[in-house]
Amino acid sequence: MTPISRLSLLIILSIISAGISAEPLHLPVTRRENSTPRDIHYYAAAADRTRAKFGFPVSSTRKRGSANVQFFIQGDDASYFGTIMIGTPPQPMNVILDTGSSDLWVVSSTCTRACGRVPTFNSASSSTFQTSTSSAAGRNGGTTIQYGSGTVAGTIAQDTVHMGSFSVTSQTFLLATSTSTGLVQNPVSGIMGLAFQSIASTESTPFWQALVNAQSLSTPEMGVWLARAGNQSSSDNADVPGGIFTLGGVNTTLFSGDIKFTNTAGTPSFWLLNLDSLTAQSQTITLNASNQLAAIDTGTTLIGGPSDAVQEFYANIPGSGPVLGQEGFFSFPCSTTINATLTFNGTTWPIDPTDMNVGPVQTGSTSCLGGIFDLTLGSDIPVGTGNPSWVVGDVFLKNVYTVFRGTPSSSGTSNGTPAIGFAQLSSAAGGSGTVSSSGSSSALTTTSAATSTPSSSGATSPLSSSPLRCP
């Protein structure tokens, strides 16, 4: 099937699933299989991207290297991107959907530095484009967004932004005229942050939150199912099914039972939860009040945690040990099965052993890399500052159906507490459960590995959509 016909099929399926009423918009996620096999160097770079993203120092090994740290551009199971439309007439832009940031930015057609051969937005061609008077705008209306050691700079602007048939007029975004090398790569043009306004460098209300505030969504929710990619390589870069992103509700074919919601911790910034406990081979890992805060991040591949807890975790895995030359990573015999769980708000969620084993340390090795790494590298984490000790990424999220629930706000004040919910995957989504009976949504099939059952201890009607993809 040609790329055009495949794209058309996905759009048709999305239209059918959305129907003609104010129902959630179900956007197919596509993953790009890369021809280059992933190894320790790939995951070390991904870990440093996560450290930089959340304000932790990167490893000294990477500091000594000659390669630039590249953000958000790699990952068969990492960065997902989808098509939005900006301007009048609309110009399509592929943007990474990231619950670990809050700004929307795209590369300008006038970009002058490290812009690469990416699709760009031509502001002169939009009749609704205008520069912003935001207080975040510095001299000449510009600002800079910092991504660890990477930056993107440009002009703060406003224009109409569409996702499917949901739209926000005068959405504030950064029109980038300069980026760090490798920050984006064709066919991606920028990033759409799905976290909260408080951490937005542009000080703007994120697109999803603007829809919630305007009561444009049937329910103020974003549902995420991530399918497994496996660790195989391909002779060519190829698009394969990667999951479903739902805006304005959930996809009930993808989970069974109830969604277990927990209110977010602290003032809304990142999507944060308190991690009750962590186990390795049925042994509970010591956590205290200073290292329980966890960011739930669709843009992170692995799970990162504080040094002491990660070291204790691997102390329970026979034959495991630090990977020489790669700070924060641990290996174990490939024949060993790691049984791990995370507990949020009294409900324990198992992680499939296939996700805890991310592959051989190097080609032909009998030692494999663990799916949990040392995020903090021994740095002190200030208590009460909202800085997460844990970043929970796809290694965990592939085992659950995840729902991010917002709350309407007026004058910057939230009317309630946001929440994050997890549910057991249905058999259609690769889980062991049955399909939830409430609501309606599109059916699909997948070849994802099975997961275990969790245990408890205590703007407008969308008529069409664009597919999401993962580079």
The residue annotated as part of the active site, out of 297, 352, 374, 394, is: 297
Q: Which residues have CB under 8 Å from 139's CB, separation 6+?
A: none
Residues whose CB is less than 8 angstroms from the CB of residue 380 and which lie 6 or more positions away in sequence, other chains included: none
Q: DSSP H helical segments within 214-360, as ranges?
A: 307-315, 353-356
Q: What are the residue ranges in the chain where pLDDT is below 50?
A: 1-21, 35, 61-78, 139-140, 230-236, 239, 411-412, 435-452, 457-471
Residues 343, 301, 310, 271, CA torsion sign:
negative
**Predicted pLDDT at 140:** 47
| Separation CA 315–CA 336 (nearest Å) | 14
User: CB neighbours of 355 closer than 8 A, spacing ≥ 6?
Assistant: 228, 371, 395, 396, 398, 399
Please tell me the predicted confidence (pLDDT) of residue 468. Answer: 40
DSSP 427: G
pLDDT given at position 381: 65
**Alpha helices (runs of H) in 262-380, residue ranges in sequence order:** 307-315, 353-356
Which pLDDT score, from 0 to 100, does residue 15 have?
A: 37
Rounded to the nearest angstrom, the gap between the alpha carbon of residue 162 and the centroid of all alpha carbons in its chain is: 20
pLDDT, tens only, 236-245: 455 456 788 8
Specify the DSSP class assigned to residue 170.
Answer: E
Set 48, 76, 77, 98: catalytic member = 98
* pLDDT for residue 113: 78
pLDDT digits (tens, 9 = 90+) for 95-109: 888 898 899 999 999
Q: Is 308 a catalytic residue?
A: no
Is 297 a residue of the active site?
yes
Q: Which residues pair with 284 in a beta bridge?
A: 279
CA distances from 326 to 47, 73, 195, 369 (A): 10, 21, 30, 11
Closest by alpha carbon to 242, among 233, 229, 254, 260?
229
Residue with token string 């769980």: 341
Domains of the chain: 221-470 (2.40.70.10)
Q: Measure the CA angle with vertex 297, ends 295 and 298; round to 5°.
A: 165
Token digits of residue 14: 């999305």
Q: What pLDDT is attached to residue 227?
A: 83
254-260-266 Cα angle (round to 5): 125
Residue type for position 195: A
